[in-house]
Amino acid sequence: MKLAEELEERFFDILLRTINYAIEFSEERSYASLRFMDLFSSLLDLQPIILRETRRDEFYGRLREKLKSREVMESGEERSRFQREILEMFIDEWRRSLPKGP
């Protein structure tokens, strides 16, 4: 695997883990879930700097658009639903990138 491909896969994995952590803490009475979402957003902002060209440019663009809608959410229930939607986007993208058999 080339260095650029490995970096792309690791970046994807870090974003995925971060959204999972946000979901894990979404039921807590602390701000941990919000903090993880802030971290997720900051990491996503770094994507064009770290990965100038990636096969997932469209996916990352859709994530950015989705995050713009997050700014108006108030309730924890809405936030949790939103986080799960993002997780589904990651799962779909991961499945799409799997090799297509022989």
What is the pLDDT tens value at each position of the chain, 102 positions in all? Answer: 688 889 999 999 999 999 999 999 888 878 888 899 999 999 999 999 988 888 899 999 999 998 887 766 667 788 888 899 999 999 999 998 888 776
**Helices 3-24, 32-50: inter-axial angle, 10-degree rounding:** 160
Q: Does the reported pTM lie above 0.85?
A: no
Interatomic CA distance for residues 38 and 10, integer angstroms: 19
HEC per residue, the chain: CCHHHHHHHHHHHHHHHHHHHHHHCCCCCCCHHHHHHHHHHHHHHHHHHHCCCCCCHHHHHHHHHHHHHHCCCCCHHHHHHHHHHHHHHHHHHHHHHCCCCC
